[in-house]
Amino acid sequence: MTALPPAGTSVAPGVPAGRRLSAWLSGRPRVRLAALLAPPAIWLTLVYLAALLALLTTAFFSVDEFTNAVTRTLTLSNVRDVVSDPAYLRASARTVGVAAAVTALCTVIAIPMAFFMAKVAPARSRGLLVALVLTPLWASYLVKVYAWQAMVQPGSGVIAWVLRPLGVDGPGYGLMAVVLTLTYLWLPYMVLPVYAGLERLPDSLVDASADLGAGPWRTFRNVVLPLAYPSIVAGSVFTFSLSLGDYITVQIVGGKAQLLANIVFANYAANLPFAAAIAIIPVLITVAYLAVVRRTGALDNL
Amino acid sequence: MLLSRRGRTILAAAMGLGLAFIYLPLLVVVVNSFNASQVFAWPPRSLTTRWWREVASNTGVREAVLTSVEVGLVATVTAVVLGTLLAFALARYTFFGRQSVSVLVVLPIALPGIVTALALRTAFQTFLGVELSIWTVAVSHATFCMVVVYNNVIARLRRTGTTAEEASADLGADGFTTFRLVTFPLLRGALLAGALLAFGLSFDEIVVTLSTAPPGVTTLPIWIFQNLSRPNQAPVVNVVAAVLVLLSVVPLYLSQRLAADTVTAGRL
Amino acid sequence: MLRTAHVKIATAAAGLALLASACGTTSGGGTTPSAGGGRAKPPSLKALGSVGAGEGTVNILAWAGYAEDGTTDKTVDWVTPFEKETGCQAKVQVANTSDEMFEKMGSGTFDVVSASGDSSLRMIYAGKVAPVNTALLTNYADVPAFEKDQNWNSVDSVAYGMPHGWGAQLMAYRTDKVKPAPDSWSVVWDPGSPYKGAITNYDSPVDGIAAAAVYLMSTKPDLAIKNPYALDQKQFDAAIALLQQQKPAVGTYWASYTDAQKALESGTTVVGSTWQIIVNLAKADKAPVESVLPKEGATGWADTWMVDAKSPHPNCAYLWMNWETKPDVQAQIAEWFGEAPANTKACALTTDKTHCDTYHAQDEAYFSKLWFWSTPQSDCLDGRTDVKCLPYSQWSKAWSSLRS
């Protein structure tokens, strides 16, 4: 702070342009706001939002049977095909099921870890523990999926090898492998916000609960969990929506299972309108989820 | 905090199991890179360093890493500028549509990757009429990287409040001087954390890159993805995977060094 | 996308107009939807007149293994010598599916594509690829006649590309688990198959449905299927019903040949649709695997180099096609990828002298037993005019529903 310029707020002619601009701006908050907001808002609207809406609008167009080109003939047939075919209803249920299972598993694994990091571990080792949990985020996504392919591979995989003495085979490829892999991929996204939430929680609250005679389980359920809840919801935004949109993991370890994103991917080149019609489902689910989450105020906890 | 011995032991065990869950698969990747066999089977029957030597002379990987770094740098710089502007706008002003903007910035990363990828691809090709290039990849990456910078900066702005800046203004500093001498130093940790995360996101992105890259632009994830499906390439992919696992400690070390609170305060 | 369709149609039309005015080579515009009940014709585009000096660059969209530049394996490189000799820098993008190829062609982003039969006809009718001038294709004469003028590379005897190589969609089986050795597709289609849960099927709308149709051709003759890619509603429904009935018995639908190889080696798959290269790789790893061309016949793929209608570097595109189909380069590709080379002069140059025999490269009788991937159209490919056949968009929708 030693380099602060001398006092004096009046702006005389002859002062540097930057200072004059600054003075001019200081009386005009709306101009400042516009200057701050315009670049990112224009970027997001032009590059993203418009494109997104346009993609979803395509669901109501048709394709030319000879050329596969998208034609602007309006039709409800794509949406009708998606809604009326029970295969897609099943795929939607399967996808939401996987996303929910991943979120639940991540939560169950993350809470004790986060609690240990925030409340049990000595303060000086906290940074290291956080770092240990974070490190895999930097190892490539594909590498991690690839690692899990090696883990679950039927017959010659690592899990199969570990279980062989027990006379059990590994999980093999399929929905189970997808849930395991996605849980692995998104776990740090759950541990971190929950840790941050628990760290803010004063020890005295937990101690008070114990003093009042509550057992550990009761303290956890009635004191810790409600206070950590917004952080869990914040973490679930990642675990749930990232699971909802994944198709590469499913391709690599999913066996013949297909989730919504795979169906979108499989159709987009041949029949973009149909792919768009299917894409509406996960978009609606995500937006609905975000809307619910926003109500809990957890978005500010991200 | 008061906690029974048993409780502590159980929690410590849970932590240990969690870390084992996180690190065992990575260990498998590293060990597998020395597997002499081209076909994966656990446990490896014999080990070799041959594949490591082969990767060292593989120009495809080196070019892919370079491309990824270029894209990552452009995307990160763009995301830092735009994300910071947005964070200031939303933290310091109230205006109509503020809530909507805060959701809009999350959308590119919250919506399914394939939807974001297709939307961006069609935007370039039909709306904007731009030819796909390394720039379209960087622009796309910046779009979803913005949110991590925004999250970090806005959290810091909320926590620090405006008192220091007001003091600076009272002492006669103009807006730009205050930013340079007061606001920026306060934000530095958050900016670095955001930039690091943005670069990491970009470096790792596959779905959006696949649909916004022209021929000849091969980032590292694309290279891995393409070579995953080639039998002769499995050992080379194993080595690259192992290198990425080992290198993942670097950004972490950096973030630890840069600011003590960066890691714990870093927001995803 | 509000404008997609608009732009696409407009660009297609503009592209044609541009070609008409700029090159004086086109005689009409747009897909002609068959006035007077005739069959639809592709937009008429003219082929290149002569190959001039290279433009310095060529953008290539290819299957993995078709354009190797030494970055995959130092010893596997026929792109670098091409660049040195012609001065055309080759920029290669690897495509994963035919649909991806279809989507990426037609805008001039690429000059050439190694199209398979399940996308080639679509590309031709969409005006995405131009006819080729076979007089400029230096190796065209060395391609056996039985591979030319087929409905995956030509329309009305106009050639749209240079044949590259082909292979059959064979049946692979584990010799230790599938006994007796099968000679019929019934082991994968029969509801009482003892290999339930360990059957594999190739994950592609065209091949998947056509494979069912091939089986129906011999088991349900009353459906009167003449060509597995020309199915009317009744025949199509029968094929889908067969696939639905098979679905619970299928262990995996494979898309990448590595996955198929791994599944065969580990025994999670014991029988099903395959490529010769998968069997070769599995055998090289000492897995007890064999392949057979079942008595009902099989589907197959034949890849063709095609030139984008808006190719910015047509000279380099032709230089590339000529390079890629030279006997020595064909020999390298055929062995690296595992396929029958289109240019049979390559047979004398392969490292493994039995390569062409293994892949039946010169065997016309074998070739004629295969139903090569073609793009289904509503004008039946088998020539029927009294019914409409289901076009590709319906095939892909049905496959998507089956797989979901």
Q: C342 and C204: one domain?
A: no
Whether the predicted pLDDT of A187 surpasses 50: yes
Q: What is the pLDDT of residue C29?
A: 35
Tell whether C133 and C91 lie within a shared domain. yes
Measured between alpha carbons, how far is C106 from C123 in angstroms, rounded to an integer? 8
Do residues C150 and C174 share a domain?
A: no
Is the pLDDT higher at C118 or at C70?
Answer: C118
Q: Mean pLDDT for chain A? A: 84
| Shortest CA gap C391–chain B (Å) | 24
Range of the domain at C207: 168-300+377-403
Chains that touch C (3 or more CB pairs under 8 A): A, B
Task: Find the mean pLDDT for residues B218-244.
Answer: 82
Cα separation of C300 and C63, whole Å?
Answer: 16
For chain B, give the percent of residues with pLDDT over 90: 25
The answer as to whether C332 is a domain residue is yes
Residue A153 belongs to a domain with what CATH number? 1.10.3720.10
Domain-embedded: residue A69: no
pLDDT at C177: 93
pLDDT confidence tier of residue C216, bands split at 50, 70 and 90 = very high
Domains of chain B: 59-265 (1.10.3720.10)
Domain membership of residue C370 (yes or no) is: no
pLDDT, tens digit (0-9, with 9 covering 90-100), for B168-223 = 778 877 777 887 888 888 888 888 888 988 998 899 899 999 889 887 788 999 98
Q: How confident is the model at residue C249 (pLDDT cuts 50, 70, 90)?
A: very high
Which chain B residues touch C91 with a CB distance below 8 Å?
215-216
Q: Of C28-32, C192-196, C339-343, give the lowest mean pLDDT range.
A: C28-32
ipTM value, please give it.
0.85
Q: Which pLDDT score, from 0 to 100, does residue A300 have?
A: 60
- pLDDT for C297 equals 92
- Highest mean pLDDT range out of A167-176, B146-155, C256-265? B146-155
Q: What is the extent of the structural domain holding A277?
A: 88-301
A272-275: list long-range contacts, CB under 8 Å, 24+ apart: A272/A58, A272/A63, A272/A70, A272/B118, A272/C1, A272/C4, A273/A58, A273/A59, A273/A60, A273/A61, A273/A62, A273/A63, A273/A70, A273/A75, A273/A78, A274/A59, A274/A63, A274/A78, A274/A81, A274/A82, A274/C393, A274/C397, A274/C400, A275/B118
**Shared domain check, C280 and C188:** yes
Q: Is the pLDDT of residue A302 over 70?
A: no
- B110 inside 8 A of chain A by CB: yes
Residue C363 located in a structural domain: no
For chain B, what is the mean pLDDT?
84
Tell whether A246 is covered by a domain: yes
B192 CA to chain A: closest CA distance, Å?
16
Least confident of B56-65, C128-137, C188-197, C361-370: B56-65
A131 part of a folded domain: yes
Domains of chain A: total: 1
- Please state which of the ranges B187-201, C169-183, C289-303 shows the lowest mean pLDDT: B187-201
Tokens of B211: 């649909």
pLDDT digits (tens, 9 = 90+) for A75-127: 888 899 899 999 999 999 999 999 999 999 999 999 999 999 988 888 888 88
Q: Show the CA angle centred on residue B219, arms to residues B215 and B222, nearest 5°.
A: 80
C80 and C139 together in one domain: yes
> Average pLDDT for residues B225-237, to the nearest whole number?
75
C252-274: burial string, b at 16+ Cβ within 10 Å, e else: bbbbbbbbbbbbbbbbbbbbbbb
In a domain, A5, yes or no: no
What's the average model confidence in pLDDT over C234-247?
96
Q: Among partner residues B63, B122, B131, which is closest to C1 by beta-carbon distance?
A: B122
* Contact call for residues B198 and B80 (beta carbons, < 8 A): yes
State the pLDDT confidence band at B264, using cuts at 50, 70 and 90: very low
B44-102 pLDDT per residue, tens: 888 888 888 888 878 888 899 999 999 999 999 999 999 999 999 998 888 888 888 88
My answer on whether C233 and C275 are in the same domain is yes
For residues C225 and C317, membership in a common domain is answered with: no
A153 touches chain C (CB under 8 A): yes
User: Do residues C286 and C321 share a domain?
Assistant: no
pLDDT at A199 over 70: yes
Q: Is the residue at A191 inside a domain?
A: yes
Asked if pLDDT for residue C31 goes beyond 70, the answer is no
Task: Tell me, yes or no, whether C55 lies in a domain.
Answer: yes
Instruction: Tell me the H-state helices in C220-354.
Output: 233-246, 257-266, 276-284, 314-324, 327-333
Joined together, the tokens standing for residue C321 give 């096609």
Between chains, do B248 and A135 touch, taking CB under 8 Å as contact? yes
Q: Does C159 share its domain with C260?
A: no
My answer on whether C268 and C141 are in the same domain is no
What is the average per-residue pLDDT within C279-285? Answer: 82
Place B245 in a pLDDT band, splitting at 50, 70 and 90. Answer: confident
Q: Are residues C36 and C109 in the same domain?
A: yes
pLDDT digit string, tens, across residues A240-283: 999 998 999 998 898 888 999 999 998 888 788 899 999 999 99
- Is A248 a member of any domain? yes
Counting the structural domains of chain C, the total is 2
Residues C50-61 have a mean pLDDT of 92
C114: in domain: yes
- Provide the percentage of residues in chain C whose pLDDT is more than 90: 62
Model confidence band, residue C35 (pLDDT cutoffs 50, 70, 90): very low
* Residue-level pLDDT at C313: 95
In this predicted structure, what is the pLDDT of residue A183?
A: 96
Kindly tell me if the per-residue pLDDT of C212 is higher than 80: yes
Residue C369 resides in a domain: no
pLDDT for residue A185:
94
Interchain pair A69, C5: CB under 8 A: yes
Please name the residue ranges forming H helices in chain A: 17-26, 29-43, 50-57, 77-84, 86-115, 123-138, 141-152, 158-163, 175-200, 203-211, 216-219, 225-244, 248-253, 260-268, 272-296
Confidence band for C196, pLDDT divided at 50, 70 and 90: very high
Q: Which of C214, C146, C165 is nearest to C366 (CA)?
A: C146
Question: Given pLDDT bands bounded at 50, 70 and 90, which one contains residue B255?
Answer: low
The answer to the question of residue C365 being in a domain is no
Mean pLDDT of all residues in C321-347: 93
> Cβ of C109 and B214 within 8 Å?
yes
A87 in contact with C, Cβ within 8 Å: yes
- Assess whether C268 and C339 both reside in one domain: no
Residue A109 lies in a domain: yes
Give the up-direction half-sphere exposure of residue A159: CA atoms within 13 A in the CB hemisphere.
Answer: 20
Going by pLDDT thresholds of 50, 70 and 90, the confidence category of residue C38 is low
Q: Is residue A118 part of a domain?
A: yes
Question: Does residue C368 form part of some domain?
Answer: no
Q: Which of B122, B216, B229 minimises the CB distance to C258?
A: B229
Which span out of A18-32, A191-205, B152-166, C190-204 was modeled with the highest average pLDDT?
A: C190-204
Give the CATH number of the domain where residue C186 resides. Answer: 3.40.190.10
Instruction: Check pLDDT > 80 for residue C367.
Output: yes
If DSSP codes are grouped into helix, strand and coil, which group holds residue C298?
Answer: strand
